[in-house]
Structure 1
Amino acid sequence: MKFSLFYEMQMSNDEPGTEARTFHEALEQAVLADQLGFHCVWAVEHHGLYEYAHSSAPEIFLSFVAARTERIRLGHGVTLTPHRFNHPMRIAERVATLDILSGGRVNWGSGKSSSVVEAKTFGIPEEDLHGQWEEALEMVPAMWRNEVFEWSSDTYKIPPVHIVPKPVQKPLPPMFGPTANPRSLQRVAELGLGALNFSMASFEDLKQKVDLYRSVHRAAPAPKNYAKNEHFCVTVNTCVLPDDDEACRHGFRGARFFRDSFAKYYFTDKRPPLGALEIDRDPLSPMAHAIAKNSRFVAGNSHGLSIIGDPAIARDKVGMFKAAGVDELILIVQLATIPGDVVQRGLRTFAEEVMPHFG
């Protein structure tokens, strides 16, 4: 099993310096993760999702990570590829450049965003998102594979051209897609992509999703322009510290912020008011803390698919993900209310007392 990190660049207050500190702390955490043996650093691309995600230029953040590290992989999780978000040619150029400079360490995830803000901000009709995403999935690896590329569709008219540079990974950087719902899971598997899945259901549901993904993926024909990638990743809210109570105090507060800020942009048809989100940022009450702490292994509970607690709790939780068939856990450690120094302690604890038990 592989263990990686996930960055939205969240912030829970707008005090001067908070945003800049968030980015610098994330960079230092990525450097530490490289030293500790983590597998990959994944960064999202979002636009206008105030407080929930300030990672609007992940290619720049990942370039800084590449320059400061030696082994850890660099994951776009994901690049927004429908027309007007990013032109496929610019994506192909940027990813290839990062792959060259990092020595072949890039994982490329592609997505379309289903937030209530982004497509409208960029003027993309909702009904066009999926088709443009699939078109870009076909175009980008073809740009990498072919010396001369040309394309003609309703969206793009590209005359014959050399698209340079090319990635150094052979055959190409591994490709991934998001699996936010059963329909997207099915389609990602049909396309032969690796799966990037949020942990928002029970372990029983997760096992069913993994099984469905593998059966559809293996039956799907080989893609035309890229190699199949049967790799199932799950993002999971994580805070692991030697003291179980301290881990719960920080972790469940951070997980609540992540959940509630996510809901403001995704579980609604109406965008939230501008400015600070109307969500709770305070420490959990003693009762809420006790309930969360005692419900970590309760089937179907919202805290079930988190990894929050001491190393023993974490090892049990990771074992459950492994039994469900997950290939890679992408740990969401940058939960906005958790201080940076606590995140660094948590990374060390996880690397020293959890990871060795899983190869």
Structure 2
Amino acid sequence: MKTGVFYQLPCAEFQNAPARIQETIDQVVYADSLGFDHAWLAELHFQSEFSVMSAPLLIAAAIAQKTENIKIGNAVNLIPLHHPIRLAEEIATLDVISNGRAVFGAGRGSMPAHLEGFGINSEETRHKFEESMEIILQSWSDSNVNYKGNFYDIVDVNVVPKPTQRPHPEIYIAANSQDSFEYASKFDYNILVTPMIISTDKVLEGLEFYRNHKSNKNVNGTSHDVTVNAPIYVYNENDSGGLEPIKKSWSNYVNTLKKIYTSPAAKRASIKNAGIAKSLDRYNSIKFSDVHSEYSIFGTPQECVDQINRFKEKFDFQQLMGWFNIGGLLTDTQVRSSMRLFVEEVLPMIKE
């Protein structure tokens, strides 16, 4: 089982954005020293309490210069917000400066403030995403890019540098909808899932479709990895605080989401998008007890071993992406302790 660390990078009012960014870089360096396989950085905009990770590829470049082995990717690049040629250049450059450690995580994004802030029509994101993915893959080939679509018209463009990894870095698609599972299976991409976001049942339904419809022809140089993102918090049995630190931090995460999905931008978007109301309903109804029992890996080392083994039986994944500070309120010491306990006392006990 491969392991990863995931960073959303929320910044509460009493926190400092530069310090939070530096803390993230330093924690990934620590994760590299512990032997984690991947570091995953979110891309989010305009809502500091939810995230100050608006330029994840810049943070990834800083991480690349301070680490040796850990692979570095986005979970995920919000493809419709970027020009695909520019994004292809930046990811290829990250791959070069990291000596072939870049990973390309791709998603459409759905947060109303993102689409409104960048002037993106929500009804166009799917087709814009698909065109962009075609262009990015062409950009990394040995040929010049020639493409004519509904959104982009590109004539004889030579994208440099090319990625160190050939034909390109591994590609992972964030799957939060049936459309995404269908797309990933059609093009043989690896897949990222977050059961807490869309529910266990929807993840299992999507994974069944993905596994039944992928071609197994290795079309895009992929290994058909399934990566599951789950909040993780490991504490010692003699820790009197128990689950209280992570419970407080998780509550901050959910309360921030409720603010986002009741914002003016969300209300405007909900006129055309019924999914906004559904998301708000989910965040209003989900409880910490639900997260603890079904969607997370919280507890003592032995409790976490048991939870991971249940996750493996349920989702049959190849990589566990650890969300070690969901909500962003855990201290640096708490996060590092949890990561260390995970590597030293949990991983050795996991069934293969």
TM-score bracket relative to the smaller structure: 0.7 to 0.9
Q: Is the 8 A contact 1:48 1:118 kept in 2?
A: yes
Match of 1:9 in 2: 9
Q: 1:190 aligns with which of 183, 186, 203?
A: 186
Evaluate the alpha carbon distance shift between residue 126 and residue 206 of structure 1 in structure 2; reply closer, same or farther with a 3 A threshold: closer
Q: 1:134 aligned to 2:125? A: no
Q: 1:339 aligned to 2:331? A: yes
Q: 1:92 aligned to 2:88? A: yes
Evaluate the alpha carbon distance shift between residue 5 and residue 150 of structure 1 in structure 2; reply closer, same or farther with a 3 A threshold: same
- Matches of 1:208 and 1:127, distance apart in 2: 24
Query: SS of the counterpart of 1:145?
Result: coil
Following TM superposition, by how much is the alpha carbon of 1:311 offset from its aligned partner in structure 2, in angstroms?
0.4
Q: Scaled by the length of structure 2, what TM-score is found?
A: 0.86
Partner amino acid, structure 2, of 1:8: Q
Q: 2:254 aligns with which of 251, 259, 271?
A: 259
Aligned length: 328
Alignment of structure 1 residues 57-206 onto 2, 5 Å: 57-82=55-80, 85-200=81-196, 206=203
Evaluate the alpha carbon distance shift between residue 269 and residue 190 of structure 1 in structure 2; reply closer, same or farther with a 3 A threshold: farther
Match of 2:266 in 1: 271
Evaluate the alpha carbon distance shift between residue 195 and residue 260 of structure 1 in structure 2; reply closer, same or farther with a 3 A threshold: farther
Q: Is the 8 A contact 2:95 2:165 kept in 1?
A: yes
Query: SS of the counterpart of 1:117?
Result: helix
- Matches of 2:240 and 2:307, distance apart in 1: 17
- Matches of 1:101 and 1:348, distance apart in 2: 28
Following TM superposition, by how much is the alpha carbon of 1:216 offset from its aligned partner in structure 2, in angstroms?
2.1
Following TM superposition, by how much is the alpha carbon of 1:257 offset from its aligned partner in structure 2, in angstroms?
1.9
Evaluate the alpha carbon distance shift between residue 202 and residue 133 of structure 1 in structure 2; reply closer, same or farther with a 3 A threshold: closer
Partner amino acid, structure 2, of 1:242: N
- Matches of 2:146 and 2:261, distance apart in 1: 36
Following TM superposition, by how much is the alpha carbon of 1:228 offset from its aligned partner in structure 2, in angstroms?
3.8
Q: Is the 8 A contact 1:236 1:329 kept in 2?
A: yes
More helix per residue: 2
Q: Which runs of 5+ in 2 are unaligned?
A: 268-286
Q: Is the 8 A contact 1:74 1:106 kept in 2?
A: yes
Match of 2:213 in 1: 216
The percentage of counterpart residues that share the same residue type is 27
- Matches of 2:89 and 2:131, distance apart in 1: 17
Alignment of structure 1 residues 292-311 onto 2, 5 Å: 295=289, 301-303=290-292, 304-311=294-301
- Matches of 2:258 and 2:187, distance apart in 1: 28
Q: Which runs of 5+ in 1 are unaligned?
A: 273-290, 296-300
Following TM superposition, by how much is the alpha carbon of 1:229 offset from its aligned partner in structure 2, in angstroms?
4.1
Of 112-121 and 327-336, the range deviating more from structure 2: 327-336
Query: SS of the counterpart of 2:308?
Result: helix
- Matches of 2:212 and 2:309, distance apart in 1: 22
Deviations 1:329-359 (Å, cap 9, x if unpaired)? 1111123111111101111111101122236
Tell me which stretches of 4 or more aligned residues in structure 1 moved more than 6 Å: none
Following TM superposition, by how much is the alpha carbon of 1:155 offset from its aligned partner in structure 2, in angstroms?
1.6
Q: 2:318 aligns with which of 327, 332, 339?
A: 327
